[in-house]
Structure 1
Amino acid sequence: MTLPLSDIKVLDFCQVFAGPMATMLLADQGADVIKVETPEGDTSRNFVPIPNTPGFSRGYLAFNHNKRNMVLDLTKPQSRDVLHRLVQWADVAACNLRVSVPERLGIAYEQLAPVNPRLIYASITAYGEKGPDATLPGYDLVVQAKSGITASRRLPDGTPVGSNIFYADMAGAMLTAYGVMLALKERERTGQGQKVEVNLLHTYLALQTVQMVRTPNYNPPQQGRRPSALVSPYKAIDGHWLHVHAATERQWRNLCRALGLSHLLEDPEFSTQQKRADHAEALHELLTSLIASKPAREWEAILKANNAPCSVVQEPDDVWSDPQVLANDMVTQFEQPGVGQVSAVNLPVRLSSTPQDGWLRMPAALMGQHTVQVLSELGYSEEEIARMRAQGVLGG
């Protein structure tokens, strides 16, 4: 089976989530990705490691399948020749290390482009490569606070409520893969490589494209004000929660009919969106009391039958058995040596005329599992490999 990117070769100098996910997206569509780890390894290997399985965590397993792995100590001068041969081999290199670190390791775009002018170099940073914060360490949840995301969700007392979902890491990875594809397409026309830049701060702004629009008469919402009573979760009698969504006039009518509240459609206090917003507290109290009278799944069935958008608030483990998820093959399983069967998210993009059943070609690799294989492909002899290993340049 030939996947769309089977002729593309990628060097992965990334750690943790954003960079590894970006290269995984390329690997899952057939790209030959070589993950180059330091002797210390990708720090995500030790994020809540899987018991009795050193070097593997859920975070590492999530984004590092379909990649070959080699260990190369880029701090040693003897690594330069190997690095340059890898760069000459590659179509794409990706790096998400802190600004200034790539140059110190010899893997900055300006250092690699002369070695291979056709190289597409994807750089993912926290705040961008310029400005007062450029060299600061960056983590998704910290950037989330800087970007306005954290402040956008508040408790009634005004306390900002962040999220433990790494939105910018995930979306930034997708933007990076998109940027790489654009640069590869442009290379077909020009014959030249280029640098693709993505940063988490800009990604968070892009995720708030609607919220970031400002007009002359814009009035920011009051901090701590309860969100719309009609786009909100409510607790049912069985302790589960039901999220309702009635943002339009039609949805409002359908919700009222589903809940047996048709009389509200004639009530002038709720006749417009603005009036419903003005009386959000009263609506919230009414819906809280009503939805607490039945189980969440029962309400969900009633609302769906009336074309009123809603969903039971599912726990992550509930999703694995969700009929809609299963019907569309959104999850998959694979065997990870030393771990056992791993359940994971299936390919999120499907192509109707390209078979993708064999997209998961290999599980996440051990550190340095393919070091010798890769070096042999680059033309190094057994003696040269042994010498570099003795010098501490290699691992695995």
Structure 2
Amino acid sequence: MPSDRGAPEARSVNRPAKGTGGPLEGVKVVDLTTVVVGPICTRTLADQGAEVVKVEAPGGDILRYLAAGSRTPAMSGKFINFNRNKRSIVLDIKQPEGLAALKRLIAAADVFVSNVRPAALARAGLDHASLAPLNPRLIHCGIVAFGTDGRYANRPAYDPIIQSLSGVAGTFDRAIGEPRFVPMVMTDHITGLVSAQAIGFALYRREKTGVGEAIEVPMFETMASFVTSEHLGAATFDPPEGPTGDARLLSADYRPLPTLDGYITVRPNDNRQSFAFFDAIGRPELKEDPRFSTPIRRTENAADYFTVQVEALATKTTATWLEIFAKADVPAAGYNTIDDLLEDPHLQDVGFWNFDEHPTEGRIRRTRTPVTFRGGMREQVLPAPRLGAQTREILAEAGYDAVQIDAMLATGAAQ
């Protein structure tokens, strides 16, 4: 796969500017991750001002090719979304010169993030024990499928494997009678964000101690915690006081409910909201119904409570119900498709959608960072890099001269 190291326009656009702002400005990150779980972690760091160098193998991150609708090869929409604010260098770390270059980058970095299986990382000398003498202040974050102390360690896994094993798919089985996957790589997103959070914690402690850290973030355990925190329920107690699961969330009617002309989501919780809902639908007598008179009774009788909602909401249009519930101060909302989000008025109000001119891909749409900091945000958004677009300049920054760089390019140790 040819690189774009010779494209000066890509290099100049992707060159990080001084003083771009953001709480992580000045933090240097070496990113040896692919697909989603790692790139969402490092994009989060990059969006907050960190300087992220994305190290790719020859051929590049597979996410470059995993989505339809690309304008040019190796630049899928998904890759563009998960890899903004990064620079790309291609190193063949199976070659000694490529591995040595990677270690030189890590020696000067604050953070090293990988989602390589631990055994392979150790064989390459990229585990924490090998890197700590090279850079004692290094924050080493390994995103893994399974914790290394368990019997599943070193198994390969992607998001659907973790959804299946962690109970995410099983919640659908409880709700609708068959296991399903959430139609997003949700476990990748959650684990990636948890990883970014852990790196932030480690950077804070390093400021106090001056010492680096080894972090392991396992996808399986992260999602098992996510699911059971929500659904452990009565099994929290030993012995259990009842079954696992939140009956409200596991109801087949826990979903946008049909109206006369579409769908609506209504979610009254406390007594004030629930009783206002009963008044709004013309069923005030339900406030005295023992099945619905308290939060715990509504939870215990979740199926009946949802039946009331299903029957009532089908009688009027979505717009009519939204007007009624707004007057009653009952939490309610319409229903957005993915396409609807592109035109959502609130997202337009807050400037959620931005349009940029990518140096090779043309006009692209991107989301802004949802989190804001009054103390300053990253001002310059770097477009997702073409494969190897900054190989030469990153090697030069690491201390390689032009002759050395040419030699590495000639052997394929760098591209």
Q: What is the TM-score with the length of structure 2 in the denominator? A: 0.87
Contact 1:336–1:363 (8 Å) recurs in 2: yes
Q: Look up the match of 2:287.
A: 265
CA distance in 2, matches of 1:16, 1:229: 32
**3-state secondary structure, aligned to 1:187:** helix
1:220 aligns with 2:243: yes
Residue 49 of structure 1: CA displacement? 3.8
Greater shift after overlay, 165-174 or 99-108? Answer: 99-108
Identity of aligned residues (%): 32
Greater shift after overlay, 214-223 or 304-313? Answer: 214-223
Distance 1:101 1:267, change over 3 A: same
CA distance in 1, matches of 2:36, 2:241: 36
**3-state secondary structure, aligned to 2:177:** coil
1:122 aligns with 2:145: no
2:259 pairs with one of 236, 240, 258? 236
1:251 pairs with one of 269, 273, 276? 273
Q: Look up the match of 1:300.
A: 322
CA distance in 2, matches of 1:306, 1:121: 52
Residue 245 of structure 1: CA displacement? 1.1
2:402 pairs with one of 374, 382, 388? 382
1:3 pairs with one of 22, 37, 50? 22
Q: Look up the match of 1:62.
A: 81
Distance 1:246 1:115, change over 3 A: same
Q: How does 1:240-389 map to 2 (within 5 A)?
A: 240-268=262-290, 270-273=292-295, 276=298, 283-354=305-376, 356=377, 358-360=379-381, 362-389=382-409
Distance 1:294 1:359, change over 3 A: farther
CA distance in 2, matches of 1:106, 1:15: 19
Distance 1:187 1:53, change over 3 A: same
Q: How does 1:162-177 map to 2 (within 5 A)?
A: 162-177=181-196
> What are structure 1's unaligned runs of at least 5 residues?
none
Residue 272 of structure 1: CA displacement? 4.3
Q: Look up the match of 1:199.
A: 218
Residue 221 of structure 1: CA displacement? 5.4
Letter in 1 for 2:181: G
Residue 126 of structure 1: CA displacement? 0.9
CA distance in 2, matches of 1:50, 1:19: 23
Distance 1:236 1:337, change over 3 A: farther
CA distance in 1, matches of 2:265, 2:118: 42
Once the two structures are superposed, residues 33-56 of structure 1 have per-residue CA deviations (whole angstroms, 9 ceiling, x without a partner) of 110000021011111243332101
CA distance in 1, matches of 2:327, 2:184: 32
Distance 1:137 1:230, change over 3 A: closer
Residue 224 of structure 1: CA displacement? 10
CA distance in 1, matches of 2:305, 2:248: 14
Distance 1:149 1:226, change over 3 A: closer
**3-state secondary structure, aligned to 1:318:** helix
Q: CA RMSD in A?
A: 2.5
**3-state secondary structure, aligned to 1:205:** helix
CA distance in 2, matches of 1:154, 1:371: 48
Residue 59 of structure 1: CA displacement? 1.9
Once the two structures are superposed, residues 62-96 of structure 1 have per-residue CA deviations (whole angstroms, 9 ceiling, x without a partner) of 11111111000000112233123212221111001
1:42 pairs with one of 34, 58, 61? 61
CA distance in 2, matches of 1:275, 1:191: 53
**3-state secondary structure, aligned to 1:24:** helix
CA distance in 2, matches of 1:212, 1:221: 5
Distance 1:231 1:92, change over 3 A: same
Contact 1:49–1:56 (8 Å) recurs in 2: no
**3-state secondary structure, aligned to 1:86:** helix
Whose RCO is larger (CA < 8 A, sep 6+)? 2
Distance 1:376 1:297, change over 3 A: same
1:391 aligns with 2:411: yes
Greater shift after overlay, 294-303 or 21-30? Answer: 294-303
CA distance in 2, matches of 1:194, 1:156: 41
1:183 aligns with 2:214: no
Contact 1:232–1:244 (8 Å) recurs in 2: no
Q: Look up the match of 1:95.
A: 114
CA distance in 1, matches of 2:398, 2:248: 61
CA distance in 2, matches of 1:226, 1:14: 34
Q: How many residues align?
A: 392
Residue 277 of structure 1: CA displacement? 5.7
**3-state secondary structure, aligned to 1:372:** helix
